[in-house]
Amino acid sequence: MHVLNVDADVKLLEDVNDFLNEVLVPLNCPADIQFQIEVALEEIYSNIAYYAYPNEIGPTMIYCKVEEEEGKPYLLILEIEDKGIPYNPLDQEDPDITLSCEEREIGGLGIFLVKNSMDFVSYRHENGANIFTIKKYLGYENKE
Amino acid sequence: MMTIVSKQEGDMIRLTVEGRIDSNTNIEFQEKIEESFLQTKHVTIDMKDVTYISSAAIRSILIGQKSASAKDGKFVIKNASSNIKKLLDSVGLTKILTFR
């Protein structure tokens, strides 16, 4: 288990990425999958900075675990935890991505991206903490 | 890290971007797109050396496309990597945007 304790502040995004790189690079994770995981983690982390701690900078814990199957990295599990305002990003309604450019809303795409690109997403509120979990299979492309 | 070089080419502005467009660097990316559309109605973003974009960057790209549509101009994304195109596709933007 890899753990990062970091303030929720988008200025520290590089620390979050370095942490993810330390886990994924030695695994030879395919670049397209790493890209999707980076986007998802940035989205959740920046949401915490903006919405869980709107008026202050608060702590975030990121737990990262890699499950193996037959000795090969198989599944990445990330748990992102904060003690801010209870906030479930999954409550957001999905944007209608079939609309024309003029009708499209600017916001709301981030969490939609996370839901689409990860193999599992969940949110729970436990012991005063927001806990967001994402899982992603590492070895092969996401099913179309 | 991100850098943007802005260049006027006739009635078009070309923004050549290098690096990562994330929640931090997107502030400048969005500003440059908005500034460009104040000056012209045709903007091209060259993404050849862009290695990463987050959802923040996608918002700016949508703002660019909306600005172009409102002015009856063109907003072109050049040389985006397959990962970036895939990401834009997953939020339904490939049919709205123009790629070169």
pLDDT, tens only, B23-55:
999 999 999 999 999 999 999 999 999 999 999
How many angstroms separate the CA of residue A30 from the nearest CA in chain B? Answer: 11
Residues 6+ apart with CB under 8 A from A3: A61, A62, A63, A64
Q: What is the mean pLDDT of residues A114-135?
A: 97
Q: What is the mean pLDDT of chain B?
A: 96
Is there a contact between A100 and B63 if contact means CB atoms under 8 Å apart? no
What pLDDT was estimated at residue A142?
Answer: 43
Is there a contact between A10 and B23 if contact means CB atoms under 8 Å apart? yes
**pLDDT tens string A11-39:** 999 999 999 999 999 998 999 999 999 99
Top-confidence residue, A101 or A8: A8
- Of the candidates A121, A125, A110, which has an alpha carbon nearest to the alpha carbon of residue A46? A110
- H-helix or E-strand spanning residue B58: helix B55-71
Residue A109 in contact with partner chain B when CB distance is under 8 A: yes
Is there a contact between A101 and B96 if contact means CB atoms under 8 Å apart? yes
Ramachandran sector of residue A70 (left: φ over 0; alpha: ψ -120 to 50; beta: rest): left
Percent of chain A with pLDDT over 70: 97
pLDDT of residue A144 exceeding 50: no
**pLDDT tens string A42-52:** 999 999 999 99
Q: Where are the beta strands (DSSP E) in B10-91?
A: 12-21, 42-53, 74-78
For A40, A142, B6, B32, B74, the CA distances from B11, given in Å and listed in that order, are 37, 42, 13, 16, 11
Percent of chain B with pLDDT over 70: 100
| Calculated CA dihedral for residues B57, B62, B67, B71, nearest 10 degrees | 140
Distance CA A82, CA A102 (A): 36
Q: Which of B82, B87, B92 sits opposite A39 (nearest CB)?
A: B87
What pLDDT was estimated at residue A143?
Answer: 41
Instruction: Report the chain B residue with the minimal C-alpha distance to residue A43.
Output: B55
Instruction: Report the chain B residue with the minimal C-alpha distance to residue A115.
Output: B90
pLDDT of residue B4 exceeding 90: yes
Q: Which of B23, B24, B59 sits opposite A106 (nearest CB)?
A: B59
pTM of the model: 0.93
Task: Confirm if A41 and A93 have CB atoms less than 8 A apart.
Answer: no
CA A135 to mean position of chain CA atoms? 9
Q: Which of B22, B83, B86 sits opposite A13 (nearest CB)?
A: B22
